Amino acid sequence: MFCCIWSLFGGLWSLFQVATVLVLLLTILCVAIIIRSDADILTILYERLGNKPESLAGKVVWVTGASAGIGEYLVYQLTQIGCKVIISARREEQLQKVKDACLASAKCQTKADDICILPLDVSQCDTHKDAVQTVIDKFGHIDILLNNAGRGMRGKWWEIDMKVDKDMWELNVLGTVSLTRNVLPHMMKRRQGHVAVISSTVGLVAPARCSAYSGAKHAVQGYFGNLRHEMFEYGIDVTLICPGPVHSEFQASQLTHDGNKVGRVTNPNRMSTERCAFLSLVAIANRMYESWVSTNPLLIIIYTSRYLPNLTEWFLTRRAVKIMVEREGDC
């Protein structure tokens, strides 16, 4: 009897050892993948094995902030897969250049008439209703609203003018919410549609020296996360895309504490705009809830913040100001 129990215990112990080794190996594999990745594991898996952005061909996609940066590259890639696009931003002449560049590309699969320039200031909420009607009149419906327009800020919290706080929230949060509010009834009527928001990794963790921007992107995360749950029964998807540092006009056009532009690029170590746009479309094509699009070490910090929030906060509290000043300069 004793021998029997002893051998059963021995068997269980070996099983436990094998399981521990397997879990350890799996953890090491995951960490190795994360270190080598420029997006969260699911986005990378979808990139390899999931729906390709080409699956969006023929869709009517409205991209805000399409005159530069990530939005501009989203438009290039959407027109290369044959989407009909509405391109919006404040600078009409820049939008015209983006449209011309699309049509000049040998890869463009969208007709000139299906690239619609619609100048729009996202923070002017009272103009949104008419803008949406213009799009509905032209294309009949909107398949995907890609809320990309946004702006950042840099500065010491105690020096920031309240006007900068307001500007951050009016564009990044309220303008985005208002445009979505005007588009959603059309999607709800059709019981289909997709709202994507280019949020940020600063909407997941809160680094130093960008309080108003980080706060605004945290609000976007909460607001649109909630919207996703409420839109489920209408068959409408909501995707939050959180890029880390990306090459674009973003850094130079960030506001300083007194509302001026930073005016310079300080951290050249950024993901290419093209890659960020591509991974964003992978996330949309696979109807992901959330996608983190960032190189390391930021990606690891985001993972750690999810599973070990206090440890991450302990580290950021001691290091965040130093890291930001080293990477972005002392604004």
CB 68, min distance to ligand NAP, A: 4
User: Considering CB under 6 A, how many residues would be counted as binding ligand NAP?
Assistant: 31
* Cis-peptide, bond into residue 297, ω within 30° of zero: yes
For the stretch 122-138, what's the b/e string if a residue is b when 16 or more beta carbons lie within 10 angstroms of its beta carbon? bbebebbeebbeebeee
78 with 285: CB under 8 angstroms? no
CB of 12 to ligand NAP, least distance (A): 49
CA dihedral 74, 75, 79, 81 (to 10 degrees): 10
Q: Does 213 participate in catalysis according to the annotation?
A: yes
Q: Judged by CB under 6 A, which stretch of 4-12, 67-75, 129-137, 284-292 contacts ligand NAP?
A: 67-75
Which of these is catalytic: 213, 234, 289, 307? 213
User: Minimum distance from CB of 251 to ligand NAP (Å)?
Assistant: 6
- Residues 286-315 binding ligand NAP (CB under 6 A) are none
Among 116, 171, 179, 288, interactor with ligand NAP by CB under 6 A = 171
Query: In terms of C-beta density within 10 A (0-12 exposed, 13-18 middle, 19 or more buried), how is residue 206 classed?
Result: middle
* Choice from 39, 198, 219, 279 touching ligand NAP (CB under 6 A): 198
Q: What is the dihedral of CA 104, 110, 116, 122, to 10 degrees?
A: -90
The residue (of 67 and 180) whose beta carbon lies closer to ligand NAP is 67
Looking at 39, 60, 70, 302, which residue binds ligand NAP (CB under 6 A)? Answer: 70
> 90 or 141, CB closer to ligand NAP?
90
CB of 127 to ligand NAP, least distance (A): 10
Q: Which of 90, 141, 228, 275 binds ligand NAP (CB under 6 A)?
A: 90
Q: Which of 300, 295, 293, 303 is nearest to 74 (CA)?
A: 293
246 binds ligand NAP (CB under 6 A): yes
Q: Which is nearer to ligand NAP, 134 or 253 (CB)?
A: 253
Which residue blocks in the chain are alpha helix, DSSP H? 2-36, 41-49, 69-80, 92-104, 128-139, 162-169, 176-190, 211-231, 250-253, 273-285, 298-307, 309-328
Q: Which of residues 120-159 bind ligand NAP (CB under 6 A)?
A: 120-123, 148-152
Nearest Cα to Cα of residue 140 among 114, 120, 121, 122: 114
With CB under 6 A as the contact rule, the residue among 209, 227, 243, 279 that binds ligand NAP is 243
Q: Where are the alpha helices (DSSP H) in 232-296?
A: 250-253, 273-285
In whole angstroms, the minimum distance from the beta carbon of 61 to ligand NAP comes to 15
Contacts of 285 (CB under 8 A, 6+ apart): 46, 50, 51, 52, 53, 54, 55, 56
Identify which range of 34-42, 119-127, 204-212, 323-331 contacts ligand NAP by CB under 6 A.
119-127
For ligand NAP, the closer of residues 56 and 120 by Cβ is 120
- Best CA proximity match to 103, nearest among 85, 79, 119: 79
Among 117, 236, 245, 255, binds ligand NAP (CB under 6 A): 245
**150: nearest Cα among 123, 126, 179, 128:** 123
Compare residues 57 and 119 and give the one whose CB is closer to ligand NAP.
119
- Give residues in contact with ligand NAP (CB under 6 A): 64-71, 89-91, 94, 120-123, 148-152, 171, 198, 200, 243, 245-246, 248-250, 253
So which residues are the catalytic ones? 213
